């Protein structure tokens, strides 16, 4: 069956804040195709409750936001990237408001919250539904912008690169789009583009408990790695300290925003003792890695299933208005946060590493740009400062378009090779889907038990041996079965799990989000773990 190639100037993989921002701005330069896995535009953006960090208050300074970000990053941030992030922040916030985002306001202006690691109030928010508010406004703008086509319920399979056609690689790897699966028909199509933009989000679903949506399976990172892109800092997984604990927990966990602690909430053990008192100068507003480790230590020491987040001393009306989403979810679980503490546990939340990019969003593969959680821009270092993630997506998606605008003539001259149709010869419909589901659960349990908040050489090495066996079995399924979205996700989960484990194995120290009990101190020379397919991991400065 001959299937037409779907062509565009720009192919965007992912429909969160990074991808939509890029698409809106790139539409002024050419045609844009957006590929998204879900009809509902499910993304980490929608799940972001807290807000966007930016220097808005006259009492705040760029230097303070920069210092807070660098401090949280534990010495592994790129100072140039951090300065770009912070100084571009106010303009990006103003632009969002022009695009129809309604942030919470007070009589004197924007209501600014405070979260862990910040030295002052600088979190712009839309109550506790900031991500959903931003996503709604961006989608509305997309729908009214000519030149943009949305392909819902489509899953990216692999990037189209020059070396797949036997092109010489002495001038580097070039990307010309991707093979894309239409989930409704089961057909794989060629989506070609002069510029491909990965904005497919993070890897939270590689862990048993995560605040991320079901689609956060590391697809963009896995594809880029297979294509030969440079990847870094995969061992730095941020576990959010406070996700809602319920007896029927499993899969995606409901996040209790750090903004709750910003409004004065404290973390208690089952005996009512404040576990962060004396653990860090900022106590309950300490950086997330500090708080998550303190909770993990408390749970292991006591054998309890959860700790408790207490904001019951605040007025019920205030809680209903400031945190309507959290308040209502807790009430559905039978928890009145105005009268009792909220049971919470840590959950995998954010990947600080990803595909290495420069400050214009360019990856090591020509014509391939990356932004958002899939990217490693150097902004987050070893631990992301709260509410810098949405800002990073806005700033670096915008900078990617700025670079493309400056180089549009050269980009328009790119000639796209003729790629073959997707080859499904020798494959068949796999009937034993229970095996695939069990493999997904095996990967998630392996990562949760062995490569979680607290690690050791024994756990990491055991995880590596097991992931190699799992990956071989999963590769066998992938090669012989008719391709489906779930098979693709399983393949990608195994790939990113291996990258996280390789990063953790290579780093023989503890820094930021990576804590190894056998190497509890940071190395005297802090470096990044850089990964590339067909090469051994290396520690280097980037």
Tell me how long the chain is: 542
Domain stops at, among 293, 328, 346: 346
For residue 271, give the CATH number of its domain. 3.90.700.10
Angle, helices 485-506/457-480, rounded to nearest 10 degrees = 150
Q: Which residues of 296-308 are buried (b: 16+ CB within 10 A; e: fewer)?
A: bebbeeeeeebbb
Measured distance CA(317)–CA(530) in Å, rounded: 49
Whether 515 is covered by a domain: the verdict is yes
Tokens 């879900």, residue located:
38
Instruction: Give catalytic residue positions.
Output: 288
Whether 507 is covered by a domain: the verdict is yes
Whether 474 is covered by a domain: the verdict is yes
Whether 463 is covered by a domain: the verdict is yes
Q: Show the domain range for 445.
A: 433-523
Tokens of 248: 């029927």
The pLDDT assigned to 1 comes to 36
- The answer to whether 460 and 501 are in contact (CB under 8 A) is yes
Whether 218 is covered by a domain: the verdict is no
Whether 355 is covered by a domain: the verdict is no
Distances from the Cα of 451 to the Cαs of 462, 498, 507, 526, in angstroms?
10, 11, 13, 21
* Sequential pLDDT tens for the chain (542 residues): 345 679 999 999 999 999 999 999 999 999 999 999 976 555 545 555 568 999 999 999 999 999 999 999 999 999 999 999 999 999 999 999 999 999 999 988 999 998 888 999 999 998 877 888 898 999 999 999 999 999 999 999 999 998 767 665 556 799 999 999 999 999 999 999 999 999 999 999 999 889 898 899 999 999 999 999 999 999 999 999 999 998 754 556 888 988 899 899 999 999 999 999 999 999 999 888 889 999 999 998 898 989 999 999 999 999 999 999 999 999 999 999 999 999 999 999 999 999 999 999 999 999 999 999 999 999 999 999 989 999 999 999 999 999 999 999 999 999 998 888 887 776 666 666 677 888 999 999 999 999 999 999 999 999 999 999 999 989 888 888 888 899 999 999 999 999 999 999 999 999 999 999 999 999 989 999 999 998 999 999 88
Q: Is-above-0.85 flag for pTM?
A: yes
Tokens of 353: 């590493």
The pLDDT assigned to 168 comes to 58
Tokens 């497919």, residue located:
200
Residue 275 class from Cβ within 10 Å (0-12 exposed, 13-18 middle, 19+ buried)?
A: buried
Tokens of 216: 């956060």
Whether 13 is covered by a domain: the verdict is no
Domain stops at, among 346, 380, 399: 346
Domain stops at, among 322, 346, 370: 346
The pLDDT assigned to 2 comes to 41
Measured distance CA(307)–CA(346) in Å, rounded: 10
Name the domain count of the chain.
2
Whether 412 is covered by a domain: the verdict is no
Distances from the Cα of 408 to the Cαs of 78, 139, 195, 248, 405, in angstroms?
28, 25, 11, 52, 5
Kindly state the DSSP code that residue 381 receives in the 8-state scheme. T
- The answer to whether 218 and 496 are in contact (CB under 8 A) is yes
For residue 475, give the CATH number of its domain. 1.20.58.100
Measured distance CA(382)–CA(510) in Å, rounded: 10
Of 231, 210, 266, 114, nearest to 453 by C-alpha is 210
- The H or E element that residue 438 is part of is helix 433-450
Tokens 């009937």, residue located:
431
Measured distance CA(127)–CA(327) in Å, rounded: 11
- The answer to whether 388 and 379 are in contact (CB under 8 A) is yes
For residue 100, the tally of other CB atoms under 10 A from its CB is 13
């Amino acid at each position: 069956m001959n299937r037409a190639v779907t062509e565009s100037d720009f192919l965007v993989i992912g429909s969160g804040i990074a991808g939509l921002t890029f698409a809106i701005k790139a539409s002024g330069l050419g045609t844009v195709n957006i590929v998204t896995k879900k009809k509902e535009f499910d993304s980490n953006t929608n799940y972001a409750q807290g807000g966007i960090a930016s220097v808005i208050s006259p009492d705040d300074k760029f230097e303070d936001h920069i210092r807070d970000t660098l401090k949280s990053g534990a010495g592994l941030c790129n100072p140039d990237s951090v300065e770009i992030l912070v100084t571009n922040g106010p303009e990006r916030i103003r632009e969002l408001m022009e695009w129809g985002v309604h942030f919470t306001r007070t009589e004197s202006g924007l209501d600014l919250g405070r979260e862990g690691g910040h030295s002052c109030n600088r979190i712009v928010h839309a109550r506790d539904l900031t991500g959903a508010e931003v996503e709604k406004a961006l989608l509305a703008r997309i729908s009214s912008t000519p030149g943009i086509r949305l392909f819902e319920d489509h899953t990216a399979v692999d990037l189209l690169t020059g070396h797949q056609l036997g092109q010489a690689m002495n001038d580097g790897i070039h990307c010309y789009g991707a093979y894309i699966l239409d989930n409704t028909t089961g057909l794989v199509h060629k989506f070609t583009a002069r510029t491909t933009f990965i904005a497919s989000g993070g890897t939270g679903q590689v862990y048993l408990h995560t605040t991320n949506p079901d689609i956060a399976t590391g697809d963009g990172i896995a594809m880029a790695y297979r294509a030969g892109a440079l990847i870094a800092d995969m061992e730095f997984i941020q576990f959010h300290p406070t996700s809602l604990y319920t007896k029927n927990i499993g899969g995606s966990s409901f996040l209790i925003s750090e903004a709750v602690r910003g409004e004065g909430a404290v973390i208690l053990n089952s005996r009512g003792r404040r576990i962060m008192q004396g653990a860090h100068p900022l106590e309950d507003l300490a950086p997330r890695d500090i708080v998550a480790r303190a909770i993990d230590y408390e749970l292991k020491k006591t054998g309890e299933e959860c700790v408790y987040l207490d904001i019951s001393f605040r007025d019920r009306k205030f809680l209903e208005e400031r945190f309507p989403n959290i308040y209502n979810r807790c009430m559905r679980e039978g928890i009145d946060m105005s009268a009792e503490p909220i049971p919470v546990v840590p959950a995998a939340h954010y990947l600080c590493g990803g595909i290495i990019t420069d400050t214009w969003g360019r990856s090591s593969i020509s014509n391939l740009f990356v932004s958002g959680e899939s990217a490693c821009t150097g902004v987050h270092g070893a631990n992301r400062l709260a509410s810098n993630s949405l800002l990073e997506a806005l700033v670096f998606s915008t900078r990617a378009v700025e670079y493309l605008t400056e180089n549009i003539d050269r980009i328009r001259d790119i000639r796209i090779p003729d790629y073959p149709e997707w080859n499904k010869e020798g494959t068949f419909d796999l009937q034993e889907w229970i095996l695939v589901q069990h493999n997904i659960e095996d990967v998630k349990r392996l990562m949760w038990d062995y490569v979680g908040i607290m690690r050791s050489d024994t756990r990491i090495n055991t995880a590596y041996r097991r992931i190699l066996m799992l990956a071989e079995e999963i590769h066998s399924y992938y090669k012989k079965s008719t391709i489906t979205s779930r098979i693709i996700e399983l393949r990608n989960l195994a790939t990113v799990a291996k990258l996280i484990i390789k990063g953790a194995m290579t780093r023989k120290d503890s820094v930021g989000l990576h804590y190894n009990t056998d190497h509890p101190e940071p190395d005297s020379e802090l470096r990044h773990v850089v990964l590339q397919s067909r090469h051994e991991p290396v520690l280097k400065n980037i």
